[in-house]
Amino acid sequence: MAEPITIARDGVYVPSWGNKGRKKDERITVHYRFLTFEEEEKIYGRARREAGEVPEKQDSRAYDAWYVEYLSQAWLLRVKKMITEIENLSVSIDGQVIEVKDGETLFSGLPLVELANEILHELKGLTSVDKKK
């Protein structure tokens, strides 16, 4: 019998953005989990609805633009759902301190574009299969 494929359920990512000069226990840390097939299906269905009506494929420019919007929505929804906790991240905007503890808050329009992009690009391509085995 072949050796079983090792599957990870979750992981931790320490972004480079915002962590320079921080002590190890004070670093921004993102905890995430891998989604189930059913969760992924719901996300891609929602992304398709949010991307709007699918243009005819004969209109390649319109279809390509729609497809980019669809994928962007899907990746964003997927990463928001994957993030289970964010540690050591708070921002002060106009004197108001906001604790950023989850993906919904991170991607809610806060001026953390570089951090949000780094996390989005890191998590969107992850797979639960351990490729070393």
- In-domain check, residue 35: yes
- In-domain check, residue 4: no
Number of domains in the chain: 1
In angstroms, rounded to a whole number, what is the distance separating the alpha carbons of residues 66 and 21? 42
- In-domain check, residue 81: yes
* Residues 128, 34 contacting (CB under 8 angstroms): yes
- In-domain check, residue 30: yes
Edge-to-edge strands of the sheet including 10-13? 10-13, 29-33, 83-87
In angstroms, rounded to a whole number, what is the distance separating the alpha carbons of residues 129 and 76? 21
* Residues 28, 86 contacting (CB under 8 angstroms): yes
Integer-rounded Cα radius of gyration of the chain: 18
- In-domain check, residue 5: no
Number of neighbouring beta carbons within 10 Å of residue 42: 14
Per-residue pLDDT of the chain (133 residues; tens, 9 = 90+): 898 888 889 999 999 999 999 999 999 999 999 999 999 999 999 999 999 898 988 889 999 999 999 999 999 999 999 999 999 999 999 999 999 999 999 999 899 999 999 999 999 988 888 655 4
The model's pTM: 0.88
